[in-house]
Amino acid sequence: MQPHRTAMTAVDRSWLRMESVENPMMISAVLCFEQAIPMKRLKRLLTDRFLSYRRFRQRVVTQGDRTYWEDDPLFNIDNHIHHIALPGSGNQNDLQELVSDLNSTALDFNRPLWQLHYIEHYNGGCALLVRIHHCIADGISLVRVLLSLTDNTPEPKVHTLTPLRPAAHPQTSSWRQSIDRIRNSGHAALEQARLFLQSVEKDPGYPLKLAATASDVAVDCIKLGFAREEPDTSLKRPLSGRKQVAWAEPLDLSEVKRCARILKGTVNDVLLSVASGALHKHFKDTGEPIPDCGIRVAVPFNLRPLNRPIADLGNQFGLVLVPLPVDVHCPVMRFRQTRENMNRLKRSYQAQVTYSLLDLFGRGPDMLERRALNMLSHKASAVLTNVPGPKEPVYLAGVKLAQPMFWVPQSGNIGIGMSIFSYANTVQFGITVDRSIPADPQAIMDHFHESFDQLLALAGRPPEQRMTLVAG
């Protein structure tokens, strides 16, 4: 019997084709637990909850210029779970070295594109390293999938799995498929026309507003295409494909919120300005001239409603280029510049533009996508993600999650990825750096704490005191 197949969407195909030796397109997570998780219980949990998403049982197949998800006829969960121990004393440095090595290695494209490493005896408990290819779904969706494996109490809830039997799908001729596509397009056009007439009936000025929005989208598209390239710094170097990861001790989220209230901004404004401060300190430590125009980071912007359950996976996000004022010396002025940049981006359509471009590139030839990707990756020095997590501690198979970290992949010639993740009233910071880039990932992580402490100390002080403290 022919395995069940579904066509891959153009956006997902874009992320699939971004795979390179220098930058494997994997989203990775390190989950540290207070106690060991029995392997038998872990496998049962993955089978009941994780594999209820059919995509994790499917591999990628390509025929001509079409790409499909196909049920893996030889699927076995044991092909995806690896039980290992850390070398040396099994401390955080040893775990970071292991994660760095595995994140430098591509997934096996002959199987479904995910892998889990169970790491025993870490910090009195255990750790899980989960790697999932970006073409399956975006980072925010996959974080929500992984969190769906957890419970709010140590007593796991009972989840039943409906067996995924390969359904019989009749073969459809190519002319019939063409007719179906035309019919579906016609239905979609009629629906759009109906919604347009309803909007005009409710608001006679709607056509003018629609025209203004289309104009704004066009302007944002032009701005993106003609945006300057990143300055030539040590953060932009030819990549080796070997990664280094590090993460910091978490910050107290209540302190971050207090800082945001004092400075009349958002938590996101504070965290992005802290990231700017960490990179500012990196430039100062290395003696490298700080670019006087700052740098930019590519930030994923979620386009999927967070209040809806994830019924289907896939990528539903755009990218925005966020300027980081690493050239600004005063932490408070750096915060204000960050806040202004973020307010301007919130009013733009840049995320929708980049999502549409990914959809367009996924439908075109591979050469077109690579040229466009090369152009866009020259406009950012790093990728930065900021994902909200659970406000209370969660448990996996009855064991408390102590510290979670997530990284999204970099694309093109970008060799740095920074991640911010809130969990149980803490803020977690992590970074991945290509080894060809002369930057110490652990030092940058330390700079996150220094940058926040300095910003909080200066918040609310008169300007003359700020200048004195900064100079000191």
Q: 5-147 in CATH: which number?
A: 3.30.559.10
pLDDT digits (tens, 9 = 90+) for 236-281: 899 999 999 999 889 999 999 999 999 999 998 999 999 999 999 9
Please state, in angstroms and rounded to a whole number, the distance separating the CA atoms of residues 417 and 103: 12
**Mean pLDDT confidence for 268-296:** 92
Reading the block at residue 311, the tokens are 């019924």
Please state, in angstroms and rounded to a whole number, the distance separating the CA atoms of residues 140 and 386: 9
**Mean pLDDT confidence for 432-449:** 93
pLDDT digits (tens, 9 = 90+) for 346-403: 665 454 455 455 444 445 555 544 555 555 667 788 988 888 888 999 999 999 999 9
Distance in Å from the first CA to the final CA of the chain: 74
Considering the entire predicted model, what is its pTM?
0.78
17 CB-contact burial (10 Å; exposed 0-12 / middle 13-18 / buried 19+): middle
113: confidence class by pLDDT, cuts 50, 70, 90: very high
Query: H or E segment at 251?
Result: strand 251-252
**Cα 235 to the center of its chain, rounded Å:** 20
440: confidence class by pLDDT, cuts 50, 70, 90: very high
| Residue ranges covered by each domain of the chain | 5-147, 175-223, 228-471
Helix/strand/coil for 153: coil
Closest CA to 49 of 154, 126, 150: 150
Closest CA to 315 of 148, 134, 143: 134
Tell me 314's DSSP state: B
**Mean pLDDT confidence for 104-108:** 92
Tell me 349's DSSP state: -
- The more confidently predicted of residues 315 and 149 is 149
- The more confidently predicted of residues 269 and 10 is 269
Q: What is the pLDDT of residue 465?
A: 53
Please state, in angstroms and rounded to a whole number, the distance separating the CA atoms of residues 5 and 375: 34
152-161, 317-326, 405-414, range with greatest mean pLDDT: 405-414
Domains 5-147 and 228-471 share a fold: yes
Q: Residue 182 half-sphere exposure, CB side, CA atoms within 13 Å?
A: 6
Please state, in angstroms and rounded to a whole number, the distance separating the CA atoms of residues 364 and 355: 15
Whole-angstrom Cα Rg for the chain: 24
Q: Which fold has domain 228-471?
A: Chloramphenicol Acetyltransferase (3.30.559)
333 CB-contact burial (10 Å; exposed 0-12 / middle 13-18 / buried 19+): middle
217 CB-contact burial (10 Å; exposed 0-12 / middle 13-18 / buried 19+): middle
Helix and strand counts by DSSP (H, E) for the chain = 13, 16
